[in-house]
Amino acid sequence: MKFFVALLTLGIFSLTQAEESQVLKEFSTGYNRFSAGVYRELLKTNSGNFLVCPLSVDIVLALVDSGAKGQTAKEISETLGLPDSFEKVNEIFTTLAPSLQSNDKYELSSANKVYVKEGFEISNNFKSTAVDVFKAAIQNIDFEESVEAANEINKWVEDKTHEKIKNLISPDYLNELTRCVLVNAIYFRGNWSLPFDEKFTQKRPFYLNANNNIDTDMMLSYGNYYNYYESSELDAKFLELPYEGEDLSLHIVLPNERDGLAALEGKIEDVLIPPKYKSEEVNVGLPRFKIESFIEFKPILKTLGIKLAFEDEADFSGIGANQENLTISNAIQKAFIEVEEKGTTAAAASAVIVAVSAQINPIVPKKFYAEHPFIFYLRLNKLGLNLFVGTYKSPQN
């Protein structure tokens, strides 16, 4: 039997604030390693702009892992960097959930849902974990009516991502062998703490490489203070653009050379960890941009180490109550980000299918003009987690 996990993307334990911090610190180490691995694999098949939400994938696979046994469970937990202890994994995601919520400064949400084939009974343990730990809703659905089922799932995803992610799942992914579709949807919308003034936005050249350029709308800011860092080791500059509320920010990592992106990507694990910033007066130039991505995660996950889960020998005996042999048939994600003068909107949806088998001297402002390819990540600062990671190479992609 197959199950499909769709990624867009009640506390069992009572932890002290210090304990919560330690739990999430342990999680962030493995998660950052997983994120870097995903980025490296995406480079192999993407020559242009791309965007990924590793957290959305992580959440869905962690839910699937709660129903996995033996070597299948080991491969998933090791690839995601999760602890071996079931209780510790539950602590992580119980602690994580409250931080993925909106406040009066920004919109942020993470929603989970498990669609179950009518007549297929999930185990009490898996149901309890899905509902109590991952806050997932559970709904019965007829996968044999593939068009109607896909429409139902896509409608939920579209609603949770404020219509930014549409048509996540094709009816072709669903059939009489499908038993479950597990879906996560993550959405963020925030305004800059220091918005760009639209009257300063102007056409400027964006250099695709050392020799070629194309004009694009460049947002400009002068005389503001930002967190800024120059790295000689990475031969790059870092800039942090905070959103209102200060919990989240967009980090831009710009190689010093116009053709320096490849060398920077070769050290992606270091790039995805913010440096020890210093507040500096910085003149900023950043392209206005929008990126949409669709990612087939199955080959990526297999390369990173999750192999058995996609084979007939997979052991997901903790999911179903009737002991059918289950395997993941596919894992997909759609992601979206739009960066403009007022702020940023970002969303992601992922799916996995499971089936039967600074002196008094005048200060000279720093200059940070993102006029050639760069890496960016949208970071939830209070947890030390990158929600979205991407690269911008051309206004034409």
Shared domain for 6 and 70, answered yes or no, is yes
369 in the same domain as 308: no
Residue at 397 is within a domain: no
98's tokens: 């409250």
Domain region containing 22: 2-192+290-356
Interval 355-388: pLDDT, tens: 765 444 556 799 999 999 999 999 999 889 999 9
Number of domains in the chain: 2
Residue 113 in domain: yes
Indicate whether 21 belongs to any domain: yes
Same domain, 234 and 116: no
Question: What is the mean pLDDT of the segment spanning 185-205?
Answer: 96
Task: Determine how β-strand 278-287 pairs with β-strand 366-369.
Answer: parallel
314 in a structural domain: yes
Alpha-helical (H) ranges within the chain are 17-43, 54-65, 70-80, 86-96, 124-128, 146-160, 261-265, 268-271, 298-304
Read off the pLDDT of residues 214-237 as tens digits, 9 standing for 90 and up: 999 999 999 999 999 999 999 999
Shared-domain flag, residues 85 and 70: yes
Tell me the average pLDDT of the chain: 91
Q: Quick one: average pLDDT of 59-79?
A: 96
Give tens-digit pLDDT for 275-332. 999 999 999 999 999 999 999 999 999 999 999 999 999 999 999 988 788 999 899 9
| Cα 296 from Cα 294, distance rounded (Å) | 7
Confidence label for 33 from pLDDT (cuts 50, 70 and 90) = very high
Residue 185 has pLDDT above 90, yes or no: yes
Q: Are residues 125 and 273 in the same domain?
A: no
- For every residue of 318-366, which 3-state class applies, written as one string? CCECCCCCEEEEEEEEEEEEEECCCEEEEEEEEEEEEEECCCCCCCCCE
- Residues 369, 229 share a domain: yes
**CATH code of 94's domain:** 3.30.497.10
Are residue 264 and residue 304 in the same domain, yes or no? no
Q: Are residues 341 and 366 in the same domain?
A: no
Query: Does 19 score more than 70 pLDDT?
Result: no
Taking a C-beta distance cutoff of 8 angstroms, is the pair 2, 354 a contact? yes
Q: From CA 80, how far away is CA 309, in angstroms rounded? A: 13
Q: Residue 156 falls within a domain, yes or no?
A: yes
| Residue whose tokens read 């903790």 | 318
pLDDT in tens, 42-61: 999 999 999 999 999 999 99
What is the pLDDT at residue 15?
A: 34
- Per the domain annotation, does 242 fall within a domain? yes
Task: Report the CATH number that the domain containing residue 246 is assigned in CATH.
Answer: 2.30.39.10
Question: Do both 30 and 175 map to the same domain?
Answer: yes
Q: Which residues contact 38 (CB under 8 A, 6 or more apart)?
A: 52, 54, 57, 300, 304, 389
For residue 167, the model assigns a pLDDT of 94
- For residue 17, what are the contacts with CB-CB under 8 A and spacing of at least 6? none
Could you tell me how many residues make up the chain?
397
Look at residue 6 and tell me whether its pLDDT is greater than 50: no
Residue at 352 is within a domain: yes
Q: Answer whether residue 13 shows pLDDT above 80.
A: no
Q: How far are the Cα atoms of 4, 95, 149, 246, 248 from residue 21, in angstroms, in the given order? A: 33, 9, 40, 18, 17
Whether residue 18 is predicted with pLDDT greater than 80 in this model: the reply is no
Find all residues with CB under 8 Å of 347, minimum gap 6, and list them: 8, 9, 161, 162, 164, 165, 185, 186, 187, 188, 335, 336, 337
Asked whether residue 182 is assigned to any structural domain, the reply reads yes
Q: Are residues 17 and 105 in the same domain?
A: yes
Question: How large is the average pLDDT for residues 142-152?
Answer: 96
Instruction: Find the mean pLDDT for residues 71-93.
Output: 93
Nearest to 68 by CA among 298, 305, 325: 325
78, 97, 74: which is closest to 12 by C-alpha?
Answer: 97
Looking at the fold, whether 64 and 46 belong to one and the same domain comes out as: yes
Query: For residue 351, which of 332, 327, 326 has the smallest C-alpha distance?
Result: 332
Same domain, 283 and 304: no
What pLDDT does residue 25 have? Answer: 79
